[in-house]
Structure 1
Amino acid sequence: MDDLISSESAGEGLWRIHNAMGEVCYLVEGAREAALVDAMGGFGDLGALVAGLIGKKPVKVLLTHRHADHVGGAHWFSDVWADAREASCWDVCERYAHIVAEHAAKEGYAGASTPFGPRDGARPRVHTTAEGDVFDLGGRTLRVVGLPGHTSGSIGFLCPELKILFSGDAVTPIECLCFTESSSVQTYKETLGKLRGLPFERFWTGHHLHDFTKKDLDGFESAVDFVLAGDRGYAWHHGFIPDWEGTIHFVPNGVNDVDSCDFRAVITRGLPAPSKLRPRP
């Protein structure tokens, strides 16, 4: 297996899988079958890596939301499960995936011979799931929880036996609510409130090798309150995807390192209005 993607044990029958571009997915094994929560962007043969960890045991691929950095690797599998609002995303996802692939080649993350799911695999069959559905793996279960905000159909998967919520991009230190498919800031605030009532001890995101807990929700709620209080923010443009832009709100919590898990920012839809400069007297 190439070193572009790697796995690490996070407990018995539980793995974090991550790649050089900061994407993370999770493999949960039960007595009867396994579940892969998200699938990263597609670089490296994720199907082969998963088979190397669990052998021939069946695996269900469960997607938290539609974005290419979470579904590209699904092309290595025959079937996936997603919220109905996320299920018809493949044309857009594959277009963005190829933009990311071009960037990865320029930056030296991957070359022409690197396995890449959207190019070398096949589009999977999509099955829809919804809040309250339960995937029984045998001794471990994953319950679907609606977490709108990042996208209107974002979902998480709660494993009560492990007391872990796999939350995708629903709650992250830099929360992106800037996409056409994103929900409102108020809806995101309601999702944060919902998280407090769920029976988990840790939540694991799609881009961090770090546990978050309910204590971290205070900082996330402060960030969204800062936006709702009227902060104007600054124009934000993605580094290499041309139509990803919005207004970024840097939360003044004393943490200025964007790579810190304690940093807080929210990116909302639309660019801020230009500042009106007063004429000099």
Structure 2
Amino acid sequence: MATNIGMMDSAYFVGRNEILGWINDRLHLNLSRIEEAASGAVQCQMLDMTFPGVVPMHKVNFDAKNEYEMIQNYKVMQEVFTKLKITKPLEVNRLVKGRPLDKLEFRQWLKRFCDSINGGIMNENYNPVEGRSRGGKEKSVKGASKASKSLQTNNMHHHPPVTTSTKPTGLKQAKSHAVGGGSNSSAEVQALSKELAELKVSVDLLEKERDFYFSKLRDIEILCQTPELDELPIVVAVKKILYATDANESALEEAQECLDESLGLEAAEEEEGEEVEEEAEAEEEETKT
């Protein structure tokens, strides 16, 4: 069970769109943005699909929007981690209000973890929509769009049409407001479009930089795996840094200790070898005399 996955694992190079597609496909949802899965409810259901019956879905709130509601969902997830003996640290504060990268990394880990169970084979007997119906709320989940449409149809059949009046409707008011502030709206759209273009350029540059450094680390890893170099102290120390699983603590100190210990042993062996050679030379000189 892949509970501890190193930061250099391929799992952490899966893109946002692939994660989003994986969630929508597995849980029969129609999320348009990865941020819509920030409440923790989707993650709980993904674990429920992977380990049926382990997650108390009646405690999961699919309509969570406030921090305290999201925290409750992640508490449910923590209980599941404890039951399954998953050692992955669940940093709730960072997942609720941390950086987008922290949230993405957790979803990348979750995909890698779920794919490692039963070879990633989907549980065909699991009904995601039925699973969500066992949750606390489900109003904000787009997977329930069919139910909302049927309710709208029933309302249209059972309620008489609204009679017209001399007062402008909400739609007309909205149109008149849009016409009045058209120039401002156009300027805002242009500004947002420019900002979006700049953000896309920044993302592309960051991805290229990430790939550049990853390729270098991969070359170092391949070099360290050379059989002739595998047992060298410096190679052992480098591997400790490459394969460290704790993202919050640096492995440099541990690697340095390992290297110092190895070098200390080598120095002691060299001194011992020199002493043996000196003793042998002394014995040889005594024999000659």
Normalised-by-shorter TM-score class: under 0.3
TM-score by length of 1: 0.22
Q: Which has the higher strand share?
A: 1
TM-score by length of 2: 0.22
Larger % of helix: which?
Answer: 2
Find the structure with the greater CA-based Rg. 2
- Higher RCO (CA 8 Å, separation ≥ 6 residues): 2
